[in-house]
Amino acid sequence: MIAIVSPAKNMRTAGLKGLELTRPALLEKTRRLLPMLRALEPWELESRLKINPQLAMKAFSDFQEFESPGGESPALLSYHGLAYQNLEAESLGLEDFAFAGGSLRILSAFYGVLRPGDAIKPYRLEFQCGFQPGGKSLYHFWGDSIYRELFRNGDTVINLASREYSKTVSPFLKTGDRMITCDFLTFRRGKLITLAALAKMARGRMARFLIDNRIREPEGLREFSWEGYEFSPEHSDGENFRFVQRF
């Protein structure tokens, strides 16, 4: 079983003593993107990535210095959004990272698929931005390579990613593949809705739950409980695990 999560826009440099960093599986495709991104001036990055001038200068610098020695961090410690703040990866130990290495993957528009201990550098790139390698979308660039990497051993995939990132997998699913999407829903005025910030936080908490409890089968995730979210059998099926917050 492998759980997939989205990356975060905010990144940092961090480390864990004794952790041996690994090489991203799809790094050769990253290296194909790099010269195209390096060719963009800061003002072009500002426009295509839809970011402010300060962030554009940072992105420009990161791409230009990508191949300089040093500066790598393990992927799971490199992102710093709501999901990752709730995952609290900085409190994980070496044994936790060893388990997560077989059970958790981060999807990325720049790296494709990342294991928790993969060595990465800061970057700024999202699937739904205006950067189009070869005049086509980043979804087209990555094609089915992310899907093939995730399913190469026939694992069940637990989808904790946003639609922007799960779209790199779902169009390529074949008969016999199993992907279970976990949704976090809240009752409001008699309807079930997704509260985006809470859902991001819950995804991070579930990823941590998976690691802490060494969950190896999808059914184990049904025991997850956080901030009123509980597994709801009546709203779930074989392809969707839905956790409902009732207060």
CA separation for the pair 76, 84 (Å, rounded):
8
* Spans of the chain, pLDDT less than 70: 247
CA separation for the pair 175, 173 (Å, rounded):
7
pLDDT tens sequence across 158-190: 999 999 999 999 999 999 999 999 999 998 888
Is residue 243 exposed (0-12), middle (13-18) or buried (19+ Cβ within 10 Å)?
Answer: buried
The pLDDT value given to residue 231:
97
pTM to 2 decimal places:
0.96
Distance separating the N- and C-terminal Cα atoms of the chain: 31
- The full set of domain ranges for the chain reads 2-245
How high does pLDDT run on average in the chain?
96
Angle between helices 196-212 and 94-103 in degrees, nearest 10: 110
Strand partners, 106: 5, 114
